[in-house]
Every structure is written in structure tokens, then in C-alpha cells.
Amino acid sequence: MSKRRSFDLRSQPGFTFVALLTFFMLYLPIAALVVYAFNAGSSMAIWEGVSLRWFYSAASNERVQEAAMRSALIAVCAALIATVAATMAAIATTRTKPYPGLTFKYAFINQPLMVPEIVTAVALLIVFSRIKVWTGYSGLGYLIAAHAAFCIPFAYLPIRARLESMDLTLERAAADLYATPWKAFRHVTLPLLRPGIIAGFMLAFVISLDDVVITEFVKSGGQDTLPTYMLGQLRRATSPEVNAIATVFLLFSVVLVTAFFFINRRKA
Amino acid sequence: MPDQPGRNAIEVRDVSKIFGSGDARFAALDRVSVAIRENEFFTLLGPSGCGKTTLLRLIAGFDFPSEGEIFLYGEDIAPLPPYRRPVNTVFQSYALFPHMTVAQNIGFGLEMLGKPKNEIKARVELMLKLVRMEALANRRTSQISGGQQQRVALARALAPQPKVLLLDEPLSALDYKLRKEMQIELKRLQNETGITFIFVTHDQEEALTMSDRIAVMSAGKILQIGSPRDIYDRPAERFVADFIGESNFLPATMVSKQDDHATVRLTSGAEISASLPQNASPAGDVTVVVRPEHAQFAAAANGAPLAGTIENVVYLGTDTHFHLKLDTGEPFIVRRQNARGHADHREAGSRVGILIPADAAQVLRD
């Protein structure tokens, strides 16, 4: 044979097996969780037929409702704050000439990705407990602030990627056509940045929604979010109600990701 | 019009632009001065890196001069940001806004100026008609061809009726035929709008066909400013003669001067008449430039001012190039237009004499 064959990973022995095993290990537990959410019985091990019983049960549980509302409220507020901060940070770090210390700034913005979450959690617990004593305020503000802080890098990355791939001549053209810096931002940069901002917001929202560690440390009494509520439930007795909640969670994130995928594709 | 000294639209005075510092210090523009007249089609011509685009960016306001002043109708605009200058740019990459339609792109400048809606609408329609794009007004800019994008970029820059239009190699992305069409189109637009055009290009042919005047630039300096005919027939420096068209360079010695003419002695010993460059008085050993099509064959080699042997004959359709080696050793090219039935039968190896007509030779400044 004169045809030269290049190295192809897919033709190596065992490739298919390893790939299938990986997918299996990744998705089997999730599949099991979803299947047992529809179990008619109250055990997580014995299958007793199909039922929506646990979905009704979860939906009518007041504590689940409260936790879900609280989670949504925190996630929306935190994602909004994080997206605005991340957009400003992304503009400040891309629309500038490189200078010494810029890399340090990237690291600073992305700090929550590098510092172990538990460290941040303990630190916030200490600081917030002091502030609680001084101010007497113990509302959701602490959770929102904490979530916003660790969501910033997740919102920052897609926005910065979008800004970096943007043609700088467009902003120059806007300035040439009498747009002041603010108008150029408002009419040219921002509309072109929108897919990045939406991606950043969604990412921040999802990250906030499923946080456990920081929430568990920072929350005051009666401030359970959906994930900490679920954790609390599992500590006592396992109930398929938790499976039902997790299934809804899963459906929600799949819908979100799919929606974002289509929004992004239509823009491009 | 080229030869009526009108008002100056743009006046650049002793402008320098320095990038970097210390050892990396580099002067993109080195004390450049130029006055561009109202309603003129003015071209900045030069190889890449000569500073032509830097000068355009300084006029547009995307960058600021390190030294010197830039006047727009007498007002110093050098410190103003781009959005405060009544000057618009056609970008090399067009830089059309991808999230807007063709019409929205064209109306952008007027909208930023806060013009009333109905005025913007009327002006956009006028511009669409001017560049013949009426049918595509509501298309996205990604849905039109490169040539059409070029027209939209032009219309967008012309819509706010700038005092000066800057064009940064706008035709370089188009294919040959479209480029030819757009050259004529640009000239038509300039005539119809009466706006001063400052055009940047590295393409000498483009510069010669469209410009009222050309400034030839090299290494951050303007070497010569003049009409296309001036630049081509009377190149003042070796770089200009070399960059634009083909040239024969002959070493010579000054014999005598009278007004703008001189008699020079070539190395062959023959004395010929040559034009003198402006603002310079060369003396002693000089270089004389002769365009290949301005030289003629003599009837015989003996007695002609220059004589040599043909080394190569290149047939180019419209004309033929004869590559010679002169008896004095220099290479020399003679270009003859081909006429039907009058084919030139001089062949490689034959000895020929060359005549330099009275107006064909030019003494260089350097």
C-alpha cells in the first residue's frame, strides 16, 4: 500500500470499549436517579412501578417551594451582579494596551476558580458573622453577595472571549462616525457582546443555583436553598422526593443549555 | 481641479509620529508637511511601512502626532478625538457593523450626530442611490458581496457629508476587474460629491489613474508631491523613479545649467539635455533617469549618444521591451509600442544606437 496512514486514535485497540465505559460511568448514576424519581414505592432500591407521586409530593412541600424560590432569587440577583461586574472587568482588561500587572489582574479576577471553595466559605463565614453582629442584618444579602463573588469568573470568561474575538476596527469606525465612547459602546460594542453576556449570565446563574459549600457556611437559620435542603433531607432518611427535585433540576439545566445553544447559533 | 490653487482642506505641518522609545524608537513619520487642496483627489503612495497609513490615522484621529499640527480648514484638529472631527474613513476591511442592515449602517453617522429621523431617511436613500444599492437596503451586511460591502462602506462614510473623506487602501480586497470598476466609481463619486478625498495605496497604477495629485512616501518622509504626470515624467529622486514605472538610470556629469534645464555629459562622452528637479541644484556627478518608452532607436549605432547590444527581447502584446547592455556597461531598456504590420525585427545580439529626445531625460536630486 502506498497510502500513508496517519495516527488515528480511534483505530487503536480498546478505544471503543474505553469510550463506552466512560459514558456508562458518567451517565448511569444520573439515569438511575431519574428512573427512581418515577418510582411508585418509597424505597430507593426496590422498583414498584411508575408514578409521578414524588413530583407531586415535592411540588406541594412548602419547604421545597420556599427553598426553590430562595434559590431562584439568589441565582438571579447574583448572576445579574456578577454579569455586570464581569462585563466591566472584561472591557477593562481587553480594551487596554498590555501593561505589567495585567496577568496579575486576570488572576485576581479569576481568584474564586483557584482558591479552594472551602477556604472562601470559612473566610466569608467569619467576616459575615462579624458584620451580622455589627449591623444586626441577617437577610439574604449575604448569600447574594457571596454567590455574586464566586460567579464573577464564570461570567467573565465567555464575555472576555467574545471581546477578544471582536474586530477593533468596528469601534474605531463608530468613533469615526461621531459616536462618543459611551455611544460607541451602547450602539456597537454592547450589541455585538450580547451573546457573550447572555452566556456569562446563564453560566453564573447555573453555578449559583447548584452551590452547596459556600451556601451551607454562609446561610442563616431558615435560609435553605434547594441544594442545601436536599443535602439536609439526605442526611436523615433517603426519600425519592430528592430524586424528583434533582430530575427537575436536570431538565431545567438541559433546557437552559439548549436554549443558549440556539440563541448563540442564530447570532453567528 | 489640480492646477487651480484653491483653499487648503488639510494642512499637515511638521508632523512626526514616534513609536517606542530608546533602542526600539522608530519614527513612522518624520517631520512631514503637506497641504491638500479643497475638492482634490489626493493620494498617499508608497510601499508598506512608509508611514502613509499612519498619516491617515493621524488625520482621522485614531492616533495623535508626537509633534506638529494638523489643520482642517485652518483649525488645528490634532488634539481632537475622532468623533469630533468632520472627517470620515473608508476602512481597508470596510468595518461594517454586522448587527445592522445596509441602511442602518449608512445612517449611523447621521444618527450619532442627532439629525432628525426624516432627514436621516432621506439622506440614506440618496446615498443608496449614489452607490446603486437601493435594492439591498434591508439586507444584513453579511448577506452582500465584497464589492457591495465596499459600496456600503463608501456610502456610510459619505452620508454625514464630511469635509474630507479618508480612504485606507479600500480596493485591495477586491479582484482585478472589480477594482478597475471601483476606481472609475470612486472618481465619479468624488466629482459628484465635491468632497476632498485622501486616498492611501501602495498600487502605483491606482494612484496614477485616479489622483489629482500624488505624494510619494518612503521611510516616514514625503519624497515628492505632484500630479501623476509630474511624478511619472519628472521623478525627483531615485526611489520615486524606481517605485513608479520602469526607469533607466545613467551616471552623468553636469556641464551647464540654464533655467530648469541642464546639459549633462554621459559616461559615453555624449552630451544631452535634461530637465532639472525643483528646489534643488545638483552639481558634479549626478544620475539621469530616462523612461524606457521615451528612448528611441537611432538609425545607426555609430554617432548615436548611446550605443549597446540587445541582450533580450520581451514581447508584451501591446509593446516590446528591448533589454540592452550599453557599451559603457550599464543595463538599459527601450520600450516600443507594437503596431500591426510594423513589427520591430531587432533581435538579440544586434548592435543598436539610442537617442534621448530633448525632454526625455531628468536629473535626479540625489
**Tell me: the pLDDT tens digits for B51-91?**
999 999 999 999 999 999 999 998 999 889 999 999 999 99
B159 lies in the same domain as B271: no
* Residue in A closest to B158 by C-alpha: A177
pLDDT at B3 over 60: no
For residue range B81-107, list pLDDT tens digits in order: 999 999 999 999 999 999 999 999 999
B43 lies in the same domain as B117: yes
pLDDT at B279 over 80: no
Q: CB–CB of B108 and A167 under 8 A?
A: no
| More confidently predicted of A7 and B141 | B141
A35 lies in the same domain as A166: no
Structural domain tally of chain A?
2
Q: CB–CB of A192 and B98 under 8 A?
A: yes
A142 lies in the same domain as A46: no
Residue B143 maps to a domain: yes
Residue B226 maps to a domain: yes
Residue A86 maps to a domain: yes
Pair B80, B61: CB distance under 8 Å: yes
Query: Which structural domain range is residue B315 located in?
Result: 247-363
How far are the Cα atoms of A227, B339, B346 from residue A67, in angstroms, in the given order? Answer: 8, 94, 99
* Residue in A closest to B62 by C-alpha: A172
B224 lies in the same domain as B291: no
Residue A2 maps to a domain: no
Residue (of B168, B228, B175) closest to B201 by Cα position:
B168
- Give the per-residue pLDDT at A112: 82
Nearest CB to A176 within list B82, B93, B97 = B82
Residue A158 maps to a domain: yes
Q: Write the DSSP symbol of residue B347.
A: -
Please state, in angstroms and rounded to a whole number, the distance separating the CA atoms of residues B71 and B13.
8
A78 lies in the same domain as A160: yes
**CATH code of the domain covering residue A105:** 1.10.3720.10
Q: Name the band, by pLDDT with cuts 50, 70 and 90, for residue B178.
A: confident
Average the pLDDT over each of A162-166, B49-53, B336-340 and give the range with the smallest value: B336-340
Q: Name the band, by pLDDT with cuts 50, 70 and 90, for residue B202.
A: very high
pLDDT at A44 over 80: no
- Give the per-residue pLDDT at B214: 95
pLDDT at B2 over 70: no
Position B261, amino acid? H
B176 lies in the same domain as B296: no
A111 lies in the same domain as A208: yes
Last residue of a domain, one of B207, B233, B259: B233
A23 lies in the same domain as A156: no
* Residue in B closest to A267 by C-alpha: B99
- Give the per-residue pLDDT at A1: 44
A140 lies in the same domain as A28: no
Residue (of B6, B23, B366) closest to B212 by Cα position:
B6
| More confidently predicted of B262 and B342 | B262
B204 lies in the same domain as B252: no
Q: What average pLDDT does range A147-155 have in this prediction?
A: 92
Contact residues, chain B, for A173 at CB < 8 Å: 89, 91, 95-97
- Give the per-residue pLDDT at B6: 59
Please state, in angstroms and rounded to a whole number, the distance separating the CA atoms of residues B142 and B90.
18
Q: Name the band, by pLDDT with cuts 50, 70 and 90, for residue A52.
A: confident
Last residue of a domain, one of B233, B255, B279: B233
Average the pLDDT over each of A68-72, B238-242, B340-344 and give the range with the smallest value: B340-344
pLDDT at A42 over 90: no
pLDDT at B200 over 90: yes
Residue A5 maps to a domain: no
Q: CB–CB of A180 and B99 under 8 A?
A: no
pLDDT at A93 over 60: yes
- Reported ipTM exceeds the 0.90 cut: no
Residue A6 maps to a domain: no
- Give the per-residue pLDDT at B213: 95
For residue range B22-47, list pLDDT tens digits in order: 888 888 999 999 999 999 999 999 99
**CATH code of the domain covering residue B352:** 2.40.50.140
Residue B223 maps to a domain: yes
Q: Closest approach of chain A CAs to the CA of B351, in angstroms?
A: 58
Residue B288 maps to a domain: yes
**CATH code of the domain covering residue B88:** 3.40.50.300
Q: What average pLDDT does range B121-142 have in this prediction?
A: 90
Q: What average pLDDT does range A63-87 have in this prediction?
A: 94
A45 lies in the same domain as A172: no
Last residue of a domain, one of B169, B203, B233: B233
pLDDT at B343 over 70: no
B37 lies in the same domain as B145: yes
Q: CB–CB of A175 and B160 under 8 A?
A: no
Q: CB–CB of A178 and B62 under 8 A?
A: no
Residue A9 maps to a domain: no
B273 lies in the same domain as B201: no
Residue B354 maps to a domain: yes
Residue A26 maps to a domain: yes
- Give the per-residue pLDDT at B72: 94
pLDDT at A4 over 70: no
Q: Closest approach of chain B CAs to the CA of A263, in angstroms?
A: 14
B223 lies in the same domain as B328: no
Residue (of A63, A33, A56) closest to A45 by Cα position:
A33
B79 lies in the same domain as B167: yes
A123 lies in the same domain as A32: no
- Give the per-residue pLDDT at A58: 86
- Give the per-residue pLDDT at A2: 47
Q: CB–CB of B82 and A175 under 8 A?
A: yes
Residue B239 maps to a domain: no
Contact residues, chain B, for A268 at CB < 8 Å: none
- Give the per-residue pLDDT at A268: 46
Q: Closest approach of chain B CAs to the CA of A173, in angstroms?
A: 7
B222 lies in the same domain as B258: no
Q: CB–CB of A172 and B93 under 8 A?
A: no
**Secondary structure (DSSP) of B255-296:** EEEETTEEEEEETTS-EEEEEPPTT----SEEEEEE-TTT-E
A87 lies in the same domain as A190: yes
Chain A residues whose C-beta is within 8 A of a chain B C-beta are 167, 169-170, 172-180, 183-184, 187-188, 191-192
Q: Name the band, by pLDDT with cuts 50, 70 and 90, for residue B245.
A: confident
B175 lies in the same domain as B257: no
Nearest CB to B113 within list A174, A175, A178 = A178
**In chain A, where does DSSP find H-type helix?**
15-37, 53-60, 62-94, 102-109, 111-114, 117-135, 141-165, 168-176, 181-184, 190-209, 213-218, 226-236, 240-267
Residue B240 maps to a domain: no
Q: CB–CB of B109 and A178 under 8 A?
A: yes
Q: Which of A43-47, A260-264, B316-320 has the highest mean pLDDT?
A: B316-320
| More confidently predicted of A27 and A10 | A27
Please state, in angstroms and rounded to a whole number, the distance separating the CA atoms of residues B207 and B228.
8
A72 lies in the same domain as A196: yes
Interaxial angle between packed helices A117-135 and A141-165, expressed in degrees from 0 to 180 and rounded to the nearest 10? 130
> Which candidate in B83, B92, B94, B120 is best for mutational testing of the A interface (most A CBs within 10 A)?
B83
Average the pLDDT over each of A78-82, A179-183, A242-246 and give the range with the smallest value: A242-246
- Residues counted in chain B: 366
For residue range A211-258, list pLDDT tens digits in order: 999 999 999 888 899 999 988 888 877 778 888 988 998 898 888 888
| More confidently predicted of B10 and A110 | B10
Q: CB–CB of B99 and A169 under 8 A?
A: no
Q: CB–CB of B83 and A187 under 8 A?
A: no
Structural domain tally of chain B?
2
Pair A190, A202: CB distance under 8 Å: no
Contact residues, chain B, for A180 at CB < 8 Å: 83, 112
pLDDT at B4 over 60: no
Residue A195 maps to a domain: yes
Query: Which structural domain range is residue A180 located in?
Result: 62-267
Q: CB–CB of A170 and B62 under 8 A?
A: no
